[in-house]
Amino acid sequence: MTKVYPTIREIAEALEAWAPPGSAQSYDNVGLQVGDPEQTVQRALLALDLTPPVLEEARAVKADLIITHHPLLFRPLRQLTPGSMVSALALRLAASGIALYSIHTNLDAAPGGVSFALATHLGLQEVQFLAKMEQALYKLVTFVPASHFDQVREALARAGAGRIGNYEACAFAAPGTGYFRPGDMARPFIGEPGKLESAEEFRLEVEVARWDLPRVVAAMRAAHPYEEVAYDVYPVEQPYTRAGLGAIGQLDKPEPLRDFLRRVAERLHAESLRYVGDPEAPVQKVAVCGGAGADLIGRALAAGADAYVTADLSYHRFFEVLDNEGRPRMALIDAGHYETEALTETLLQHWLQQHFPAVEWRRTTVRTSPVRTFIATNVSKKFA
């Protein structure tokens, strides 16, 4: 049997159904960075970052596509020359015919995304978002005649409306009467131009994620029988439960922070950990955020976490977990940016193998982090 290989567009559409680009942070640049979306993909390489060795590896294995977590083109380029690593890599990608796609903070925000993978890797159970996404949800209300009610409702659901937690196609309807007078140039579905009319209609309400709204409104218009579709869109305040940041879960039994630190270091292959906490304090409820997660320290404290594992913490952020006597209310652990996100390669590999089995999905053999740890010995400590 001849294998049918997907295009980059098809792969991107599948990834973006899981991790919508609209859920990415406003500063981010996700999606196809270099390449033709209609190119077919037989072999692809997965990496946390694109570096010169990763590109050389992709060329060596004859990859058609590289998928990274961190975007190469993160900030606008003023020129495309070999003068910097970023622009030089972009030029070499284009010359090699290898496409580049990046899935960054939208994968951080996705259910089962980066922080969920980190939580599972550390042995946490009952994992859920640490912070559900706010200012991401809208209510769409329209008014539909009974004859087309199911048609419009089903079109909205197919377009992504009405997704609440583990439920889909959620909607509410109530009967009522609509009144209108078609203008002289109108071509009404009900009634005649110039004559005041009434129609028995259903008020149909659905919740819609911000990034799905244009597609959902277009689907509603296409399915609705009216020439002029009456509808309202307004923001709702409750958090969106299908996207968020960080994750929180439970170890199957408590263990001393000393043992938990060892667990983190061993499972993440971290050469060192920076932390605040009592080494003998029990740890069971654990919050995590892959990559830079300082902004979620307060969320982890409020959730009652015994420990919070993240990266890129500045010196002063460690003070935020101390009480008025200077004692740690929660262990705060900086395990390293690369170390908390490198498992993204495996996460993507497993997901893509399930959805596109014809493609050969390879993880890079390159450690992409340029950061190294120097561990000194026989160094005197000022306060030893």
Sequential DSSP letters for 53-87? HHHHHHHHTT-SEEEESS-S--S--S--STTSHHH
User: Vertex 29, ends 47 and 311: CA angle to 5°?
Assistant: 60
Q: Among candidates 251, 235, 290, which has minimal Cα distance to 109? A: 290
Q: Among candidates 343, 316, 335, 322, which has minimal Cα distance to 373? A: 335
> In this structure, what token pair is assigned to residue 185?
């140039």
Helix (H, G, I), strand (E, B) or coil at 286: strand
For the four alpha carbons of 243, 246, 247 and 248, in that order, the dihedral sign comes to negative
108 is in an annotated binding site: yes
> In this structure, what token pair is assigned to residue 238?
């409750």
Four-CA torsion 286, 290, 291, 294, nearest 10 degrees: -30
Conformation bin of residue 207: beta by default, left when phi > 0, alpha when psi is -120 to 50: beta
Residue 123 CB contacts under 8 Å (≥ 6 apart), including other chains: 251, 252, 263, 267
Four-CA torsion 296, 300, 306, 311, nearest 10 degrees: -10
Burial of 237 (0-12, 13-18, 19+ CB in 10 A): exposed
350 is in an annotated binding site: no
70 is in an annotated binding site: yes
Residue indicated by tokens 């919050």: 287
Q: Among candidates 332, 290, 351, which has minimal Cα distance to 115? A: 290
| Residue list for the binding site for a divalent metal cation | 69-70, 108, 337, 341
Please give the annotated binding residues, written as ranges. Answer: 69-70, 108, 337, 341
